[in-house]
Structure 1
Amino acid sequence: MDYKEGDIVRVVKEGREYTGIVMPSRTDKIVLKLKSGYNVGLSLDGTKVELLERAPQPPKPARREHPHRPGLPSISILSTGGTIASRVDYRTGAVSSQFTADDILDAIPELEEMANFKGRVLSMIFSEDMEASTWQSLARAAYEEIKNGADGVIVTHGTDTMGYTAAALSFMIRTPVPIVLVGAQRSSDRPSSDNAMNMLCAAEVAKSDIAGVTVVMHGATSDDYCYVHRGTKVRKLHTSMRTAFQSVNVPPIAKVDYATRKITPITGYTKRGEQELKLMDNMEARCALVKFYPGMSPDIIEYYMEKGYRGIVLEGTGLGHVSTKWIPVIKKATDAGMVFVMASQCMNGRICDRVYSTGIDLLKAGVVEGEDMLPETALVKLMWALGQARDAEEAKRMMKTVYAGEIEWRSTI
C-alpha cells in the first residue's frame, strides 16, 4: 500500500475508523499513533487504508568541515549504532540509529579540540542485533585502524550488549593503544542525555596510556565523572540509570573527571605500547549460555547436542551447581566432545565446585570452573577459545588461562 512511516492515514476496519501517524512495525500489522497519544495495531486483512498526508522530509543539516589539526593525536571512531547514535522522531515516537561519526563531531564540537577524528560506519543497529560475525567485523576494523596509525579507537555501541562486545574485542585483539567502547542510556536529543559527557570522557581515555579494551560510561548520577571499566569485567546493572555500568569483582581501572578531563588511575592496567598489535578473530558461534533454575530439565543439553553446539556456559547457582539429574547428561555431552564451563548466577564471588558433592561430580563429568568470570564473558571467551583451539582439551586449558584480565585469582570484592 502507498504509505510509509510518518505518513498520516485513515484506516477503516470492521466499520470503525482510525486516523493517525504510521509507526514502525515489524509485524504484518499497521501501527498508528492516534491523536490521543496511544498506539493501535490493526491487521491489514479486510482493511482500507487512505493516505491523508505525507510525512514531511526533514531538512538536511549543513555539514561542518572538520579540518586536520597538527599536533593532535589521531582517533578513529567506529560507529555501530545504539542509543548514543540515535535520535527520537517526536512526531512518530520512533527511535532510530542514524548518527555517523561526522554527526557526532557536529553534535559535540569540543571533541575537535582533543584529537583529529575520522570515522567509519560499520553498522547502524541496536545492540541486541549483534552476533559473532559482527564482533569479528568490528575486531578487524579496529585492527586495521590501529595498523594504519590510529593512536586510539572509539567504538560507539548500544548499551544492552556492550559488555559482550567489549569481552569479544578483548580476546580477539592484542592492542598497543586504547580501544574504548562508549554508549548512552538516553538519546542525544533528550535533556538528560549522557552521550556528550560519555563521549568526551571516552575520547580522553582514547588519547591516554590506558591500552587494551575498556568501557567508559557515567560513574555518578550527576555529570561529575565517568569510570573506565575493563572490557572483560563490566556489566550493565540497571535498565535505565546513567550509572548502569559497573565493574564486577574488581574496581574500575580509572576515573575521568568531566570538568577537568583528568584521569585518576584506580587499579593497574596495560600501558600504551606494552604489547604488540595482534588479531585473533576466529570464533565458534555454536555456543550457548544456559541459566539453570530449580526443576529445569536436562533435555536442553540434549537439544544443543542434537543441534551440533560445541560449547555451553552453565550459569549455575551459588558456587556453581545444577541439579544432580543433569550430571549424567553433561558427562554424555563432554564424552562427545562438548566443552562445559561453569559460571555463577551470583553477582560477586567465584566458582568453587570442590565444596559440595554435586560440584565434585560436575568436575568429574568434565565441567571447567569459570572462576570469577561473568557468565557473558565466559560465553564469549568459550566461543573464542573453541575458534582458536585444535580440540576440546586445548579449549578447556585456554578457559583456565588469563588473556585479558577476565580472571582474578584472588577475590577482593
Structure 2
Amino acid sequence: MIAYLATGGTIASIPAAEGSGAVPTLTGADLLASVPGIGDVGAVEVHQMMQRPSASFTLADVRTVQRTAQEVVDAGASGVVVSQGTDTIEEVAYLLDLLWDRPEPIVVTGAMRHPGLPGADGPANLSASFQVASSLSARDLGVLVVLNDEIHAARFVHKSNIAAPDTFGSPGFGPLGYVVESTPRLRLLVSRNPALSLGPDIPPVALWRMVLGDDGRALSKLQTLGYEGAVIEGAGGGHVSAVTVPFLRDLVTEMPVVLASRTGSGEMLRSTYQYSGSEMELLDAGLISAGSLDGLKARLLLTVLISAGASREEIEREFALR
C-alpha cells in the first residue's frame, strides 16, 4: 500500500470562476482519479493534509507531514507520495529528508501547470511518483523529488525557473534517475546521514543575501528582532563587502552564523582568498561554512540543529557531514 498525502498547490488548483486565478481546490481523491493506470501500483490510501499554496507552509506543517508519513509507514505503507505546490518543494523535501529515518521512500511531487491549463503535468507527475514510491530500488534513499519523469535527491534538488515544466534540477550532480515506460531507472545512489529531530520550539533563523553596496547595518538588528541564528549568502565562494565584516563579527557573538553562497551551487571556499570580507576572514571570525548547501537548505539545517540545542561544535560537525 502507498500512502498519498495531499496538501494543495498548483497541482490541485483550478480557477474559482471564469477569468479568475487558480486556487487550491481539488482534493487528493480528485487528483488520484486523474492518474491513468493508478491501480497498477496497488492500493493507495489518501490523506488530505491541508489545502493551501506551499508558500504559506510553516516548518511545523512540514513536521506534521513527516509525522503522518511515519505513522502510515509504521502501519504498513511501503512508500509515501506527497503532493504540494512547487514554490517550496526544495525546502519541504530537504526538511523531510533531515527528519526521515525510515527505509521506505517519501516522494514529493507537484505540477507547473494547473489542471485548467493545456498540457497540465500533474497526472503524469503523480503517476511517476507512485511508480517510484512503490519501487524497491527507491528504498533507503530518503526523500526524493519526482517531476518531469526525473528522480532527484532532496539534498540536491533546486527550482530554477518560474514556470517551465523542467524547472527542477540538481546542479553539480544531476538526477538520480528517470521514470521510463512507467519504470523507475535509478542510476545513482545517495548516502544517507543519521536523521535529526526538530524540537518542539522552532527557532526563527534569518537568511540574508549580501548584495552590491550592502553596508550591513540591518545585521545588527537580527537579535533584537528575535532571530536565534542566521545564514549569510555571500557572493561567489563566500565573500562580503569589507564594511559588513564588523557587523558579522558582532553577530557571531550573539548567535550561530552560517556562511553560504548566493550562487546556489558549488562547494564553499575555505582557504583561497584572505582580503577583508573574504571567506578566510569570515571563517576565522567564527562563521560556519555551509559546505555545498545553498542558503535555503543551510537555513533549514541550522534551524533543526538550534531547535535540538546543538552546540557550536555540533553545528560545525553537522554542516561538514551534510
- TM score, norm. by length of structure 1: 0.73
Contact 1:173 1:281 (8 Å CA) reproduced: no
Equivalent of 1:101 in 22, 28, 34: 28
Identity %, equivalent residues: 26
Structure 1 equivalent of residue 293 of structure 2:
373
> In the alignment, which residue of structure 2 is the partner of 1:125?
52
Match of 1:345 among 253, 262, 281: 262
**Corresponding position of 2:171:** 248
Distance 2:279 2:161 in 1: 31
Among 269, 272, 277, the residue aligned to 1:355 = 272
Give the alignment of 1:131-170 within 5 angstroms.
131-170=58-97
Question: Equivalences for 1:389-400 in 2 at 5 Å?
Answer: 389-400=309-320
Structure 1 contact 210–269 (Cα < 8 Å) conserved: no
CA distance in 2, matches of 1:269, 1:76: 23
Give the number of aligned pairs. 315
Check whether the contact 1:178–1:206 (CA below 8 A) recurs between aligned residues.
yes
CA contact (8 A) 1:386 1:392 kept: no
- Deviation sequence 1:238-296 (CA, Å, 0-9, x none): 11110010012212111111xx11222221246xxx999x7723263310111100111
How far is 1:109 from its partner?
4.3
- Give the equivalent residue in structure 1 for 2:231: 313
Structure 1, unaligned stretches of length 5 or more? 1-73, 219-225, 403-413
Q: Which residue of 2 aligns with 1:69?
A: none
What does 1:3-402 align with in structure 2 at a 5 Å threshold? 74-208=1-135, 209-211=137-139, 212-218=142-148, 226-257=149-180, 260-269=181-190, 280-282=197-199, 284-336=202-254, 338-357=255-274, 358-402=278-322
Aligned-pair CA distance for 1:363: 0.9
Write the distance in 2 (CA, Å) between the matches of 1:127 and 1:142: 18
Structure 1 moving runs of 4+ over 6 Å: none
Structure 2 CA distance, aligned partners of 1:347 and 1:390? 26
State the SS of the aligned residue for 1:372: coil
Matched residues in 2 for 1:261 and 1:128: separation? 31
Q: CA RMSD in A?
A: 1.9
Structure 2 length-normalised TM: 0.92
Between the aligned partners of 2:207 and 2:196, the Cα distance in structure 1 is 25
C-alpha distance in structure 2 between counterparts of 1:165 and 1:130, whole Å = 9
- Contact 2:270–2:283 (CA<8 Å) still a contact in 1? yes
Cα separation, 2, equivalents of 1:400 and 1:244 = 28
Give the Cα separation in 2 of the matches to 1:279 and 1:311.
18
Query: How far is the alpha carbon of 1:113 from its aligned partner?
Result: 2.2
| Per-residue Cα deviation, 1:181-214 (whole angstroms, up to 9, x for no partner) | 0000011232210111111000011011213101
Determine helix, strand or coil for the equivalent of 1:306. coil
1 or 2 for the larger relative contact order (CA 8 Å, sep ≥6)? 2
State whether residues 233 and 261 of structure 2, in contact with CA within 8 Å, keep that contact through their aligned partners in structure 1: yes
